Amino acid sequence: MKNMNTNFHWKDAIIYQIYPRSFQDSNGDGIGDLNGITKRINYLKSNSLSSLGVDAIWLSPFYPSPMKDGGYDISNYCNVDPQFGTLDDFDRLLTEAHNHELRVIIDFIPNHTSNEHEWFKESRSSKNNPKRDWYIWRDGKIDGSPPNNWISVFGGPAWLFDKKTEQYYLHSFAKEQPDLNWENPQVKKTMYDVIRFWLRRGVDGIRVDAFNQVLKDYSFADDPVNPLYKEGKDDPYNRLLHTHSKDVAGKLYTLKEICNVMDEFEQKLLITEAYLEIEDLLHYYKVGQKETLSPFNFFMLRKPWKASIYKDFLKTYEKDRQVHDIGNFVLSNHDNPRIASRIGRNAARVASVLLFTLRGIPFIYYGDELGMKDGEIPSEYAQDPKEINNPGKGLSRDPARTPMQWDRKPNAGFSTGKPWLPVVSDFMIYNVKNEQNDQDSFLSLYKTLIAIRKASPALRRGSYLAIEGTEDNILTFLREEAGEKIVVVLNFSSEEKQISLPFGKSEILYHLEKKDKSRIVSLKTVDIGGNDAYILRLF
Ligand code: GLC
């Protein structure tokens, strides 16, 4: 691990999510692979100006898988799927990344395996098989119907009847993803050894998939009906409140155990995935080792783009989060529509300024730095089980998983073969090559924001103080560290505004609209355009 800076701290990190299937294909089969990622490390991190300058990559799954859920259905936890390469390719990617001081985080999927995993094959083979209890098997009701009313995230009942042994097994996700039984000590031990396997190999952190699903209420009581559910409008999964099938007491004990495994190593980052209210999420911090635990905060992914809503959220997120609790912010990921599609490219530029100026790790979803939008996916391309089980309801996650847009070559330089999902139609404009040469591009915006954050102790580590009293559509806050004071002003609306701030003069570090050429402004009256933002350093 040469060149790795031992003073590195996760608090200072900027993390880039790669969906390996869609980043770079190196062998022309239309599917991205590990060697493709290795080839692109220079883009992510190098000394040259053309590099983005992130500190770590998080790789969505690349393990052997029948691909019923984009690789989140694993048939072997300790290997690489031939589509993506080999374990040697992984080791090369890791070495190359480390040589560039780029950390590597991988996905850990504890809730379920593939139905083609050897463990499940054994488990389903007979009621007496030693692995029977590794999964969750139950008899049906007297009338033969499933043991309870639980439903799958991807649609339909969460139970599937298996003729061979005449019992149902639980699958919180696709029917090809049977849930592991975390009540069984052997399951836990084996899964903790999976974590150790990758950390020993040199991996720098894990993202725990679907963490709040892992434990269930083992009374298997029915989930209550959600009184607010609107048939035909809401995701069918929201028909029930998942009081018994997820988020049950005891999950923080499991989190503590995972933290203990991570603590056997040094400085390994643990990120948990769970869509929670901010108050619930903050409880996670009470469990873990400080400064290497960062439960995902999905607020920006899901909430409407309104300054008042953001003000309230930041008040809660900031109030109870201690100095050592590492926060994080996420604009897009592989499970949700991209930010540029959700709020439009102009507002997405303002959201990017926010992402890089808040107190917590900024997560970049590959392609967001280009202003990439969701693709149009013809039905014959549909891959996502959520779409396949609920066709045409707008629930598909495929649109946010289209190939990375590198240049103007066929398939945007992603592959010489037919890509597994079609490339977004406006790739001729929005691609790395074009944007590298355009000062006003999204990519230039990202590079500038990353450089500003890296150079500013206040933005990386400083305290956060909301500045109240500005008008409704404006969000303003002060970040402060070691004598440096940075004020950030964001206009969430498309109308020009004039505001007054309770400070004297400041230097403009960044002005999104760049209309104002002066480097010094008085903060008594600040003109801010629609969808505009300032990063200001106080004197
Ligand atoms: C997580 C993943 C998602 C996957 C699901 C089941 O939510 O992010 O892509 O489908 O878990 O593993």
Q: Ligand 1 centre from 475 Cα, in Å?
A: 32
Q: Is 210 in the pocket of ligand 1 (CB under 6 A)?
A: yes
SS3 331: coil
Instruction: Report yes or no: 485 and 537 within 8 Å, Cβ to Cβ.
Output: yes
Q: Is 237 in the pocket of ligand 1 (CB under 6 A)?
A: no
Q: By mean pLDDT, which of 280-289, 333-342, 413-422, 446-455 is the weakest? A: 280-289
Q: Ligand 1 centre from 73 Cα, in Å?
A: 9
pLDDT at position 48: 76
pLDDT at position 3: 58
Any idea what the Cα angle at residue 140 is, between residues 137 and 144, rounded to 5°?
150
Q: Is 404 in the pocket of ligand 1 (CB under 6 A)?
A: no
Q: pLDDT tens digits for 271-294?
A: 999 999 998 999 999 987 778 999
Catalytic site includes residue 209: yes
**Residue labelled with tokens 């080999």:** 86
Of the candidates 166, 183, 263, 264, the residue annotated as catalytic is: 264
pLDDT at position 107: 98
Q: Whose CA is nearest to atom 11 of ligand 1?
A: 210
3-state percent helix, strand, coil for the chain, nearest multiple of 5: 30, 15, 55
Q: Is 72 in the pocket of ligand 1 (CB under 6 A)?
A: yes
Q: Taking residues 206-217, what's their average pLDDT?
A: 97
pLDDT at position 148: 98
Q: Is 448 left (phi over 0), alpha (psi -120 to 50) or beta?
A: alpha
SS3 262: helix
How much of the chain, in percent, has pLDDT values that exceed 70?
Answer: 99
Q: Over 70: is that where the pLDDT of 2 sits?
A: no
Q: Taking residues 209-230, what's their average pLDDT?
A: 97
pLDDT bin (cut points 50, 70, 90) of residue 7 is confident
SS3 74: coil
SS3 415: coil
pTM score, two decimals? 0.97
Q: Taking residues 390-407, what's their average pLDDT?
A: 96
> Rounded distance, CA 405 to CA 13, Å?
24
pLDDT bin (cut points 50, 70, 90) of residue 1 is low
Q: Taking residues 393-398, what's their average pLDDT?
A: 95
Q: Is 335 in the pocket of ligand 1 (CB under 6 A)?
A: yes
> Rounded distance, CA 327 to CA 325, Å?
6
pLDDT at position 4: 78
Tell me the CA distances in angstroms from 309 to 179, 305, 314, 332, 467, one per residue in order: 36, 8, 9, 18, 15
Closest CA to 212 of 253, 130, 273: 273
pLDDT bin (cut points 50, 70, 90) of residue 520 is confident
Q: Taking residues 125-134, what's their average pLDDT?
A: 98
Q: pLDDT tens digits for 67-124?
A: 999 999 999 999 999 999 999 999 999 999 999 999 999 999 999 999 999 999 999 9
Q: Give me the chain's average pLDDT, please.
A: 95
Q: Over 80: is that where the pLDDT of 472 sits?
A: yes
Catalytic site includes residue 264: yes
Q: Taking residues 505-510, what's their average pLDDT?
A: 92
Q: pLDDT tens digits for 162-186?
A: 999 999 999 999 999 999 999 999 9
Q: pLDDT tens digits for 329-386?
A: 999 999 999 999 999 999 999 999 999 999 999 999 999 999 999 999 999 999 999 9
